[in-house]
Chain A
Amino acid sequence: MKDDLRKTGVNGISNVPWGTHFCMFYESKEDLINILVPYFKAGLENNEFCMWVTSEPLNTEEAEKALRLTLPNIDVYLEKGQLEIIPYNEWYIIEGEFDSDRVLNGWVNKLNNSQDNGFDGLRLTGNTSWLEKNDWNNFVDYEEEVDSILINYPMIAMCTYSIDKCNASEIIEVVNNHEFALVKRQGEWTQFESTKKKKMKEALNDNEQRFAEAKRIFDVLETLPTMICLLTPDYHVKFANRAFRDKFGESEGRHCYEYCFGRTEPCDFCESYEVLETGQPHQWEVKAPDGSIIEAYDFPFTDVDGTPLILEMDVDVTEQRQTQNALKKINETLEEQVKERTQELSKSNIELKRSNKELKQFAYISSHDLQEPLRMVTSFTQLLERRYKGQLDNEADDYIEFIVEGAHRMKYLIDDLLAFSRLNTQAKELESVELENVIDDVLSNLSVTIKENKACITYDPLPTVNADKTQMMQVFQNLIANAIKFQGSNPPKIHISAHKDEKEWKFAVTDNGIGIDPEYQKQIFEVFKRLHTREEYPGSGIGLSVSQKIIRRHGGNIWVESELGKGSTFYFTIPHSINDHPNFI
């Protein structure tokens, strides 16, 4: 039913919704015309099918004429079939009888037809002057019925009563059967309701509201996925919501122990009824007959009549438990795995340590023990050279030279290997090292080669760092010696700078030498990697890898930036504190 309001057409009466059944008390024909003409005008103009049942003092011709005066296009409506003006004896009284069922059905039919024809609804009026005293009660019953039915249909009905013909009690009866009454008082049309009607309406509203609220709450309970029930002290289920009924079915009046658990007497494990004794909420866990695990929450509850009941909320935690158990199992499995893994790693570690130690020993021993036979080769070759130089032919001289050269290189290689292997075995603890002292020592060690190559070495103020002094010397000596060795066409100019970053010192050794092709800038740090032949530049190729090992041991990094022909800058970092030494061994 539409909620929209329909125009009554009558001044002073608000718009009314469909289903409004009201009455009007007239004194004269003019009253009828004054009210009904605008009433129907409003209806016709709003697409309502209009039916005017007339009786004395207004007949159908007069009604039509009166309507025509305000609606010049009344014929349009008549032709459309939207307006019917008929006398009472073609509607209320047929063959001399008033049959209320016939009339009621008649209205409904008219309404259906009107809707089929595309009209919004039915607006009607019926004059009651034809009523005889003996028909009165019948008619009143009819009005009562109309009043109760009409509210459900898109109909508006105004019943007109001659005020002169009705005595006081009759007027009251009429008013009680209509929503409101239109009465002319001191020349003004006014609207009033009977108090009975008012009270009935209010009570109905109240009831409707309460009912709606109750239904709402009930729907809430029914919709909740949690199972809810009310248990009586004698083990019956007074209420079970849909979730509960879905799980356990309908109680069919059975005791809860039979209904839910299929038992013939109260369950021995039941803890719900403790609530009745303690008056305190109680929570417990139970296994349902279908194997699911239920977490039950019981609360003391007072019924509307004061009876103590148990309000129970049941939550199916089967999945939760399963998940919990599964998680627990996984956890246990993981822990086992972690334990195993740790053991494996531990073993691995021990083996690695042992292997490392052996390797170091091997490197040390090899290089150490290789020195003696090498010394034999070198010594006697030199003696040979000394004693027989010039006495043998040129070939022999060449052979001797190759042997001596080879022996020398072997010695350097072994020396370097020994130094490399000693890096960790002879490594000392870190201490505060003044790098300017280190540089002084290094420059002193390299003084001969610096002088020979006319090298110029400068340095920024250098800090004190946490390091191994000997190893710092090794690094600087290596870098500076390299810078001198790989000089360009100009005498070597080398500068050492230091920059303090948040977590570390960054040092740079810059030269004006031959530079390094970017392609090889990583390679040169590998053990024994050389970029030139021995004729071009001597050296075993181990110096930078030793430097790298030392710097890494201190937790820093070493790298080079260079361009061929434009010199190189070797950078390395030394972290400030022991905590920034991730690799410190």
Chain B
Amino acid sequence: MNLKSNILIVEDNPGDVRLIQEILNDVDISYNLYFASDGDVALQMLKREGVYGDVPRPDLILLDMNLPKKDGKEVIDDIKQHDRLNNIRLNDIPIIILTNSISDIKNDPYVKLADAALLKSPNLEGFEKIANCIQNVLSKIKK
């Protein structure tokens, strides 16, 4: 039985959310999608707090750095610090950062904590790149 991968999408722009969904269509893996539109909700989900008690541990986090309330950096900070919380290991969940412009994240130390940083490209080639990256990361986990 092939378990579906759980993917947490942390993104406030509904357009970008939809785009990610389109990109995931090209990825040859079955998955469940969970959505958080800001950093606060993302952490609550990760820590299974409150209404989010039933959210499973994601296999991959797709993280936009520019979020309202807690932004991407704070999320990463939090994740990496909480080794074991509520019996959930968070710090080794792979994170793929999606950004509007390279210059925004250039020389950003948080980028080093993530597994990949990709440009939100408007082109089909860009979509392909993101799809390939997600595929690679998820394949590694399955192994």
A196 within 8 A of B: no
B81 within 8 A of A: no
Question: Is there an interface contact between A371 and B124, defined as CB atoms closer than 8 Å?
Answer: no
CB distance from A227 to the nearest CB of B (A): 86
- A374 to B18 CA separation, bound complex (whole angstroms): 15
- A553 to B69 CA separation, bound complex (whole angstroms): 41
Question: Is there an interface contact between B122 and A378, defined as CB atoms closer than 8 Å?
Answer: yes
Chain B residue at minimal CB-CB distance from A382: B124
* Chain A residues within 8 Å of B15, by CB: 376, 379-380
Question: Is there an interface contact between A372 and B100, defined as CB atoms closer than 8 Å?
Answer: yes
* Chain B residues within 8 Å of A382, by CB: 122-124
Chain A residue at minimal CB-CB distance from B13: A372
> Quick one: which of B13, B16, B18, B123 contacts A378, CB cutoff 8 A?
B123
Chain A residue at minimal CB-CB distance from B126: A379
B22 within 8 A of A: yes
Chain B interfacial residues counted at CB < 8 A: 14
User: Interface residue tally of chain A, by bracket?
Assistant: 10 to 19
Q: Which of A375-411 contact B (CB under 8 A)?
A: 375-376, 378-380, 382-383, 386, 407, 411
CB distance from A386 to the nearest CB of B (A): 7
Chain B residue at minimal CB-CB distance from A368: B101
- A378 to B100 CA separation, bound complex (whole angstroms): 14
* Chain B residues within 8 Å of A375, by CB: 100, 120-122
- A450 to B43 CA separation, bound complex (whole angstroms): 51
Question: Is there an interface contact between B122 and A374, defined as CB atoms closer than 8 Å?
Answer: yes
- A375 to B19 CA separation, bound complex (whole angstroms): 11
* Chain A residues within 8 Å of B101, by CB: 368, 371
- A382 to B122 CA separation, bound complex (whole angstroms): 8
By a beta-carbon cutoff of 8 Å, the part of chain B in contact with chain A is: 13, 15-16, 18-19, 22, 100-101, 120-124, 127
A-B contact pairs, 5 of them (CB 8 A): A368-B101, A375-B120, A378-B123, A383-B19, A386-B124
User: What 6 pairs across the A-B complex have the smallest Cβ distances?
Assistant: A378-B122, A375-B122, A376-B15, A379-B122, A379-B19, A382-B124
By a beta-carbon cutoff of 8 Å, the part of chain A in contact with chain B is: 368, 371-372, 374-376, 378-380, 382-383, 386, 407, 411
Besides A379-B15, A380-B18, 9 new A-B residue pairs in contact (Cβ under 8 A), listed by A number: A371-B101, A375-B120, A375-B121, A376-B15, A378-B122, A378-B123, A382-B122, A382-B123, A383-B19
